[in-house]
Every structure is written in structure tokens, then in C-alpha cells.
């Protein structure tokens, strides 16, 4: 049996998603919790690995099991065995052709920037604090140059292991709600550090340090060494993963707890 889970986590106290020796990571926490419910060791496959300090509200994983459990049992049983900064939001039995990573057709991220003169005690690990005023309208206009299919070599980490740098950005919006500036990104897939590098460039433009055309200029250079600063991780959230409608996966928490 193949089972998919929706996972949310506060990444502040984790060294990223992927299992690593001697450091706390999300994958190992969830695998241990699910293994207790399944009564055998399980190996999780995720839609997208997140780095140290990065959060998720819409991570998707799957695993193989011979155990027969209801959706309620997978959700509640796993959550009982998880720490407070990780939670399972839904569970589904899936066909054999489903894969959390390779079946995905799109991913959504949000980057939070707290834009005010004083730092915040409550948002310190959940948003990036920028005390200089940001012009979110200028950031949004600059961002539109990145929408579409492009070679994002200038916006990926130098050690990115992706086979090619071409990605398609379906949407890149910058908006403000009070003191919070939000960068919402939707693409078919992302390169390592791609969203954080985009955020770093847009924040420099928002502070007036660079002109709006700089975002396009960096893109056209196709050279990461000519790009902007990589923004800190704590503002980044994986919010949703898109799959074909045939899989009928929920967009958010399953509050029905149905079988």
C-alpha cells in the first residue's frame, strides 16, 4: 500500500528536511512517528527538500507499507508520536503510480518580510526583519521580468545539483499587509536557493539600492556570482504542492478525520 501525508512544520529548530547524522531533521522525526503507527520501519519520499530554518504548511510525502490503517489512524497516531513543531494534516491511500516528488506538477512558496523599525520577538524565526522601508510596488514590478520559462542560473545556489537551470515561473507576486511584505511564488519546480535568491534581489530593489531592471539584468547574465545576496531562510514557507486532479489530494488540513 502507498500512503501520502500532508505535513506542516516550523523549521526553526530543524537542520532541514533531509535525514542527516547527529542533527535534528524533519524527515527522521516523521519517519520514526509513522513507523510506530505502521509497526515497521518506513522510508519517506517528499515533494521538496527544505533547508535549515525553512518552514512548510503544505509539504507532501509518501511511503510504502503493508499495514492497514484508517486515515484517522495515520493522522492521529502519527501526530501523537511527533514533537509539537511538526504535524500531519491529512492522509490518503494512493495508487502505485503516485510519487510525492515526481508526480508533482507545481510548487508554491511564500516569503515573509517583517518591514518595520523594531524587531519582533514573536516573528524572529518566522519572518525576515527589514527595518529600512520597502517599496513593495517596485519589488512587484521588477519581479514580473522573472515570470515565464527562463534559465535561472543566476538565481540558483552555486552547488545546486539540478541537471539543468531552466524553470517556469507561473506567478511571482509581491504584496503588503500592514507591516508584512509577502513574496508569493508558483513554479513548475525550483532550483536550490532559487526563492531566497529572488527574495534577496527584490529586497535590494525595494530598499532603493538597485533599479527595477536589475532583476532582469541578473537573469540575463546567467551567472550566480553576479547575483544578489541570498535572503535568510526563516522567512521561507513551502505552502502547497500541485498534483494532477486525478489524485484528488486535499489542498489543506483534513478536519473531517474520515476513514
| Residue-range domain boundaries for the chain | 2-103, 106-239
* Model pLDDT, residue 40: 97
* Model pLDDT, residue 159: 86
pLDDT band at 161 (very low <50, low <70, confident <90, very high): confident
- Domain 2-103 and domain 106-239, same fold? Reply is yes
85 is catalytic: no
* Model pLDDT, residue 133: 97
Q: Which residues contact 133 (CB under 8 A, 6 or more apart)?
A: 115, 207
Query: Is it the case that residue 239 has pLDDT exceeding 80?
Result: yes
Condensed to tens digits (0 to 9), the pLDDT of residues 71-80 reads 999 999 999 9
DSSP 52: T
Cβ(115)–Cβ(130) under 8 Å?
A: yes
The span from the first CA to the last CA of the chain, in angstroms, equals: 16
d(C-alpha 59, C-alpha 228), whole Å: 28
* Model pLDDT, residue 257: 57
Q: For residue 81, give Cα distances in angstroms to 4, 18, 75, 85.
A: 18, 19, 10, 12
DSSP 96: T
Fold of 106-239: Alpha-Beta Plaits (3.30.70)
d(C-alpha 132, C-alpha 112), whole Å: 15
Condensed to tens digits (0 to 9), the pLDDT of residues 101-131 reads 999 999 999 999 999 999 999 999 999 999 9
Condensed to tens digits (0 to 9), the pLDDT of residues 173-225 reads 999 999 999 999 999 999 999 999 999 999 999 999 999 999 999 999 999 99
pLDDT band at 258 (very low <50, low <70, confident <90, very high): low
Condensed to tens digits (0 to 9), the pLDDT of residues 42-67 reads 999 999 999 999 999 999 999 999 99
* 2-103 carries CATH number 3.30.70.580: yes
- Choose, from 10, 22, 51, 242, the residue flagged as catalytic: 51
Q: Where do we find the cell 511527533?
A: 82
d(C-alpha 204, C-alpha 210), whole Å: 6
pLDDT band at 162 (very low <50, low <70, confident <90, very high): confident
* Model pLDDT, residue 245: 95
The mean pLDDT of 151-157, rounded to a whole number, is: 95
Is residue 109 marked as binding?
A: yes
d(C-alpha 257, C-alpha 47), whole Å: 23
Give the chain's count of helices (H) and strands (E): 5, 10
pLDDT band at 231 (very low <50, low <70, confident <90, very high): very high
Query: Is it the case that residue 35 has pLDDT exceeding 90?
Result: yes
Long-range CB contacts for residues 224-227, cutoff 8 Å, separation at least 24? 224/153, 224/154, 224/155, 224/156, 224/157, 224/158, 224/197, 225/158, 226/154, 227/154, 227/155, 227/197, 227/200, 227/201
Q: Determine how β-strand 236-242 pairs with β-strand 180-187.
A: unpaired
Amino acid at each position: 500500500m502507498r500512503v501520502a501525508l500532508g505535513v506542516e512544520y516550523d523549521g526553526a529548530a530543524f537542520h532541514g528536511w533531509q535525514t542527516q547524522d547527529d542533527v535534528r531533521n524533519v524527515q527522521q522525526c516523521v519517519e520514526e512517528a509513522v513507523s510506530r503507527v505502521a509497526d515497521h520501519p518506513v522510508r519517506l519520499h517528499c515533494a521538496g527538500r527544505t533547508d535549515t530554518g525553512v518552514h512548510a504548511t503544505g509539504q507532501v510525502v509518501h511511503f510504502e507499507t503493508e499495514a492497514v490503517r484508517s486515515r484517522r489512524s495515520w493522522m492521529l497516531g502519527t501526530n501523537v508520536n511527533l514533537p509539537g513543531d511538526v504535524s500531519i494534516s491529512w492522509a490518503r491511500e494512493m495508487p502505485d503510480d503516485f510519487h510525492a516528488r515526481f508526480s508533482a506538477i507545481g510548487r508554491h512558496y511564500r516569503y515573509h518580510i517583517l518591514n518595520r523599525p523594531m524587531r519582533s520577538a514573536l516573528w524572529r524565526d518566522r519572518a525576515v526583519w527589514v527595518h529600512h522601508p520597502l517599496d513593495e510596488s517596485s519589488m512587484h514590478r521588477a519581479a514580473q521580468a522573472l515570470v515565464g520559462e527562463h534559465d535561472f542560473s543566476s538565481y540558483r545556489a552555486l552547488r545546486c545539483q539540478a541537471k539543468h537551470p531552466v524553470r517556469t515561473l507561473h506567478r511571482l507576486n509581491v504584496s503588503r499587509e500592514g507591516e508584512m511584505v509577502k513574496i508569493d511564488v508558483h513554479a513548475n519546480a525550483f532550483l536550490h536557493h532559487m526563492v531566497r535568491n529572488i527574495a534577496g534581489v527584490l529586497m535590494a530593489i525595494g530598499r532603493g539600492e538597485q533599479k527595477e531592471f536589475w532583476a532582469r539584468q541578473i537573469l540575463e547574465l546567467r551567472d550566480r556570482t553576479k547575483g544578489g545576496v541570498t535572503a535568510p531562510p526563516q522567512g521561507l514557507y513551502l505552502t502547497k504542492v500541485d498534483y494532477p486532479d486525478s489524485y484528488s489530494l486535499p489542498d489543506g488540513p483534513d478536519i473531517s478525520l474520515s476513514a
